[in-house]
Structure 1
């Protein structure tokens, strides 16, 4: 594939010595083409996600989200053996601390009206009590703990509206999908393969709750400026916690996944993080959500 990438680079006036593969990437292989371009090649079974990105990215950019423009999309296997996109290269690094400015981009994204985005699926809240029951049936949880967990989900559901209109979400807001400058200023939100119509809480479900606590007030402030939304912090916090707890429970039966950089990859990490969060005296409204 590297030789084919070099031929593609040549068509953009980029010499072979300026082509470099970037390690990592679950859904795509990535290649730097000089200072201005970046190529993402879909791995097997992820072709549809790449196609979805070509639909979502222009809409996100129109809404004011900082994300690289797509310059070329080839859905065939003719040139690189798999579909690929050529995008603008944004210079930046993965942040150690999630930049506060990301909430501005999320608020802008969440104001997109649902339209003719045929490639974008609908995601939802799921049914975590079913997962709790399965864990009890299979011996992962004792009956009393399972009842307590199910009750927690029920109490949280009373704090937010599961039927609220879906918004356009990125679906994988995490440090590895953000690029920042040397001063931690947000340069770009990347990798839109998990984009969906769903609850806005989804875009806070892969950040640690200690970060979410800091980000939600500013996010809500921007949302109010853009759309006059009356969404309350306690309602959004309840939804975010619901997803964190739900995904943590759902991960308990997963096999260990060593060597991954994201904190949610190990099966028990999310639930342990929740334990840590609530034993550290979280502020209002989080302190009322147990």
Structure 2
């Protein structure tokens, strides 16, 4: 941030320039605290401007549904101070969970309550198109053709997805999804969920897709506070397996904060979950080879 921009922002938001501090990290945005109460985000490049525009439409819908997320204080698209749209929101006083100790079960139950509000109360924001997350079966065929999996495993995977599809209602509801419910976007203080942040991946899609970026044991705990629906667990597993397979051909991702960044992490997470004797109905969702 240039001294000129720092001074202009300080004047606009009524605080000393010395109260503006950069927050490290963040893939999509440069982030700054503006004193004790405000938080500024500026897209890093043109690619991420659309995400911020999406957030400007989604956050009011989420807050209207009662979801705990910071309010937008200012959304500037004039490009007078910065050659990009930028957003100033309320500052959440807390830290994310990436490097924190595992929170108690009550935290995950509260998260489930928040996601239930989002999914069952929020209306579809203007311009947010439906997204079903894709069909993983062409990915399986591609992995087999390229030699990433053997033909027998590919056959079993295809049968597993066919089985999961029979458990998921054809006309499952489409809901407002945060789209990136992951540890880096869950702000906590004293083991209490302070708010969901970063709505740039929001979508209008099936509820099961919402739980694809939490580890499955965390999903189980979160569902204790969520209103279950028919086929929800099958839908969640569909995305964990499908997106995990889709990551297999990606390059290594050292140093990333999100657990799903390394190519094999999500599939190994499914393996670890099923090796721990998961509760019903999870065990019955996977078909044994030959069945």
TM-score by length of 1: 0.92
User: Per the alignment, do residues 5 and 150 of structure 1 end up closer, same or farther by CA in structure 2, a change over 3 Å counting?
Assistant: farther
Task: Give how far 1:114 is off.
Answer: 4.3
Q: How many angstroms apart in 1 are the aligned matches of 2:152 and 2:7? A: 60
Q: Which residue of structure 2 aligns with residue 135 of structure 1?
A: 143
Specify the alignment match of 1:19 in structure 2. 20
Q: Aligned-pair distance for 1:72?
A: 0.9
Q: Which ranges of structure 1 fall in alignment gaps of 5 or more residues?
A: 222-230
Q: Quote how far apart the aligned CAs of 1:48 are.
A: 0.7
Distance 2:115 2:222 in 1: 11
Distance 1:245 1:2 in 2: 45
Paired residue for 1:153?
161
2:269: which partner in 1? 273
| Structure 1 residue 90 corresponds to structure 2 residue 92 | yes
User: C-alpha deviations, 1:194-229, integer Å up to 9, x for none?
Assistant: 1110011121110000111112132127xxxxxxxx
Q: How far apart, in 1, do the equivalents of 2:74 and 2:61 lie?
A: 16
Cα shift readout 1:83-132 (whole Å, capped 9, x = no counterpart) = 101111110011233622111111111123544x2332321141111000
Answer yes or no: is the 8 Å Cα contact 1:6–1:19 preserved in 2: no
Partner SS for 1:85? strand
Distance 2:248 2:7 in 1: 43
The alignment of Structure 1 onto Structure 2 pairs a total of residues equal to 277
Q: Cα deviations across residues 127-168 of structure 1 (Å, max 9, x unaligned)? A: 111000001111111111111111111111111124312000
C-alpha distance after superposition, 1:10-34 (max 9, x if no partner): 2211111111110111111110011
SS for the counterpart of 1:220 is coil
- Root-mean-square deviation over aligned CA pairs: 1.4
Q: TM-score, normalised by structure 2?
A: 0.91
Counterpart in the other structure of 2:289: none
